[in-house]
Amino acid sequence: MRVLVVEDQARVADAVARGLRRTGAAVDVAGDGGEGLYKARINPYDVIVLDRDLPVMHGDDVCRTLNSENPDQKILMLTAAASTDDLVEGLSLGADDYLAKPFRFEELVARIGALARRTGEVRPTVLTHGDLELDPARRTASRAGRDLDLSLKEFGVLQELMAADGAVVSTEQLLERVWDENVDPFTNTARMVLVTLRRKLGDPQPIETLRGAGYRLR
């Protein structure tokens, strides 16, 4: 899951980003509304966490613009106001959910996860492919009943491959979905994670490399 956090309070933005990364999410951060809109236009995000009171471009304007350009984009608005009128106004702008500050981080994570699952494509709760089973909600993965004990990035890569259900996933797609904007696109990061993932999966090896195209599950 890839998330954009648009928040001008650096302390809050960093805390949210660190917490989400510990759950395995790839997180980008923007410090004002203009930067947030720019990043949202060039990167695909499962969820955008958008503070309402932003410099450069107000959060309401960012939300309204994103909703007009991409109605399917999932947006969770943050605000210091908790009145019913604020809630109604925020949702009327196109936000999918609304959370008042201060908030419990566990609630924020739960709401982000719920929004990420609200896509037009219905996906199974638990992914299976052959003797592989992966549960995104519980962060567990197994092969033939054996726990794989994967790192966050290994889990993310396997999840993308299993969600593709045999279709080819390019290195660029893996970097886009599992890592954040700070990753070097010319790095061997994805390849090295695939090496350790393959080792943990064991034989017969389920991941196939298609030279010049990417990877897929056999």
Give me the CATH number covering residue 54. Answer: 3.40.50.2300
What lies within 8 Å, CB to CB, of 133 at 6+ separation is 126, 127, 141, 142, 143
pLDDT at 124: 57
Q: Do 113 and 179 belong to one domain?
A: no
Q: Residue 99 corresponds to which tokens in the numbers above?
A: 């959370």
Q: Residue 209 and residue 218: Cα distance in Å, rounded?
A: 10
Q: What is the pLDDT of residues 132-158, one digit of tens each?
A: 999 987 889 999 999 999 998 899 899
Give me the CATH number covering residue 145. Answer: 1.10.10.10
Q: Do 113 and 17 belong to one domain?
A: yes
Residue 8, pLDDT above cutoff 50: yes
Of 117, 152, 177, the residue at which a domain comes to its end is 117
Q: Do 134 and 184 belong to one domain?
A: yes
Q: What is the pLDDT of residues 13-68, one digit of tens each?
A: 999 998 888 888 889 999 999 999 999 998 889 999 999 999 999 999 999 999 99
Q: Do 61 and 82 belong to one domain?
A: yes
Residue 132 — φ and ψ, nearest 5°?
A: -90, 140
Q: Is the separation of the CB atoms in 160 and 177 below 8 Å?
A: yes
Give 95's pLDDT tier (boundaries 50, 70, 90).
confident
Q: What is the pLDDT of residues 71-86, one digit of tens each?
A: 889 999 988 765 556 6
Q: What amino acid is encoded at 95 in this protein?
A: A
What lies within 8 Å, CB to CB, of 186 at 6+ separation is none
Q: Residue 56 and residue 61: Cα distance in Å, rounded?
A: 10
Q: How many domains does the chain have?
A: 2
Provide the whole-model pTM. Answer: 0.70
What residue numbers bound the domain in which 174 lies?
A: 127-217
Q: Do 142 and 96 belong to one domain?
A: no
